[in-house]
Amino acid sequence: MSKYVSKIFVTVDVLVINKISNEILLIKRLNEPFKDCWALPGGFVDENEDLEQAARRELFEETNIETNEMIQIGAFGTPNRDPRGHMISIAYQTYLIDNQIVKAKDDAKETKWFSINDLPELAFDHLEIINSIL
């Protein structure tokens, strides 16, 4: 029996909503693919890492935000959603907690709040992820 090795990777994306201003937090990507494009904070799930923990880690690494509440909003796995290969993303939603300092870190070049009604062009299928909860 041959050993099967999957070529599918798992990522997480986090939709951070500011309930007061009705805005969504996006990051400007520092690296390819989609370098300098706006995207949801997120990244690859590490081996032996829980999905929700990966979402919390990626959110903190890229935006400095820590949150207690993570709501899983769906799985997105259309082939070719990511030019690097077949990626399945588990998307989460959370809300900004008062008094948190948001700043770009790790592979995020910049962070910015955008009105839900006036979003820029987004990397990957992140607009589909956002629209799935609106």
| Active site positions, annotated | 110
Helices and strands per DSSP (H, E), number in the chain:
2, 7
* Cβ contact 62:43 at 8 Å: yes
Q: Distance from CA of residue 55 to its chain's centroid?
A: 8
* Cβ contact 41:108 at 8 Å: yes
Give the separation between CA 108 and CA 83, rounded to whole angstroms.
Answer: 19
| Cα end-to-end distance, the chain, whole Å | 47
75 to each of 3, 80, 83, 111, how far by Cα in Å? 27, 15, 18, 24
